[in-house]
Amino acid sequence: MNREQVRQLKEVHLSLTKKIKHLHVATKYNVATKFMGEYPSVFKGRGIEFADFRQYTPADDASEIDWLHSLKGGKLLVREYVEERNLTIMFVIDSSNTMLFGSQEKLKHEYAAELTAAVAAGALESGDAVGMCLASDKVKQFVRPMLGLKQLELLLHALVNEKNYGGDSAFGEILGRTSNALPRNRILILVSDFITHDRKWRHAVRIAAKKHQLFAFIVRDPLDDEIPAGVGQVTVQDPLTGETMVIDSDKIRERYKREAEEELNEIKQTLMKSGVRYLQLSTKDDFTKPIIGFFKRIKKGG
């Protein structure tokens, strides 16, 4: 039996007002007090830009002397450069059927929405432009990258709009289109469980990683990876076909776990081989500390 047949969907109830209020709380406390200490220097800028001239000192490399301006100024001058910090960050968020699953307090798409809002708020607060593509088998909503905290309102409304969720997965195609729509050397952050994606997503990741800096948050529910012992017979529904059936979970438990491990390892190998730094997250755990740790590792080059 395919392990997809033992995935169960919970009915989605999204209250726009309630969810926006909740996301505001998440961004206020998770980002303002914790993320902002790590975020500003996490990602590399697009390059370096000229800042100003300063007088040459013996500690400087003589090859960096600007002779033309030195002659005009009557003293030796060198150019100073700074890293261009204003970045463009694009979230590519999987909103397909498998993300509507959950055995914990939060379904995967709710968890993904909260962590996206938190990181996006940190980026906007740091002066970076942030955009977002929510998609399943088609683009549900595309928010163009913009600067300013007003952009956060647009992102939050997109994240809590129930019309943006559900459908099959065409993550590879969506990633490819998003990558091609952006100028080179932007930052793409993938947020997905990476389940039921066809092989196209693997190729799309490799191609996009050659053009942009890619990062990935792998959002998983505990039942994505293992069925608890002693559950017995359960009624399950295939999120792709809608087919339901009764199964004895204890009989398929070991096979389910083995296939889940193989699938997850293959996902991680694809990301690593493409140079994509990733973080696996579980909906049973708060994402704040893992993401802060992830940022710290990136800063250290790990």
CB count, 10 Å around CB of 258?
A: 11
Calpha distance 263→290 (Å, rounded): 22
Same domain, 66 and 200: no
Same domain, 293 and 212: yes
The DSSP symbol for 28 reads I
Question: For residue 16, what pLDDT band results from cuts at 50, 70 and 90?
Answer: very low
Same domain, 23 and 113: yes
Does residue 5 surpass a pLDDT of 80? no
Same domain, 151 and 293: yes
Q: Where are the alpha helices (DSSP H) in the chain?
A: 16-26, 67-73, 108-125, 150-159, 171-181, 200-211, 222-225, 249-273, 288-299
Does residue 200 surpass a pLDDT of 90? no
- The DSSP element (H or E) to which 94 belongs, if any, is strand 88-94
User: What's the number of CA atoms in the CB half-sphere (13 Å) around residue 47?
Assistant: 4
- The DSSP element (H or E) to which 281 belongs, if any, is strand 277-282
Same domain, 52 and 151: no
Residue 50: its pLDDT value, please?
A: 58
Pair of tokens at residue 4: 């997809």
Residue for token pair 């889940």: 260
User: What's the number of CA atoms in the CB half-sphere (13 Å) around residue 194?
Assistant: 28
Same domain, 99 and 200: yes
Residue 175: its pLDDT value, please?
A: 95
Does residue 208 surpass a pLDDT of 80? yes
Which amino acid makes up residue 124?
L
The boundaries of the domain holding residue 202 are 3-42+85-299
User: Under 8 Å CB-to-CB from 195, ≥6 apart: which residues?
Assistant: 4, 7, 98, 169, 224, 263
Q: What helix, strand, coil percent values describe the chain, rounded to 5?
A: 45, 25, 30
User: Which is higher by pLDDT, 153 or 302?
Assistant: 153
Global pTM reads: 0.77
List, for residues 169-195, the tens digit of each pLDDT value: 899 999 999 999 999 989 999 999 999
Same domain, 61 and 139: no
Same domain, 160 and 274: yes
List, for residues 48-103, the tens digit of each pLDDT value: 555 678 888 887 778 788 888 888 888 998 877 655 557 899 999 999 999 998 88
For residue 275, give the CATH number of its domain: 3.40.50.410
Does residue 300 surpass a pLDDT of 80? no
Q: 284 with 224: CB under 8 angstroms? A: no
Pair of tokens at residue 165: 């969720």
Which amino acid makes up residue 110?
E
Residue 203: its pLDDT value, please?
A: 93
Same domain, 179 and 247: yes
83, 105, 138 - which closes a domain:
83
CB count, 10 Å around CB of 60?
A: 13
Least confident of 12-21, 87-96, 102-111: 12-21
Residue 130: its pLDDT value, please?
A: 95
- Mean pLDDT rounded to a whole number for the chain: 82
Same domain, 56 and 120: no
User: Which is higher by pLDDT, 199 or 118?
Assistant: 118
Same domain, 132 and 206: yes
The number of folded domains in the chain is 2
Share of the chain above pLDDT 70, in %: 79
Does residue 139 surpass a pLDDT of 70? yes
Does residue 36 surpass a pLDDT of 80? no
Question: For residue 19, what pLDDT band results from cuts at 50, 70 and 90?
Answer: low
Buried/exposed code over 148-159 (b: 16+ C-beta within 10 A; e: otherwise) = eeebbebbbbbb
Same domain, 30 and 145: yes
Q: 127 with 118: CB under 8 angstroms? A: no
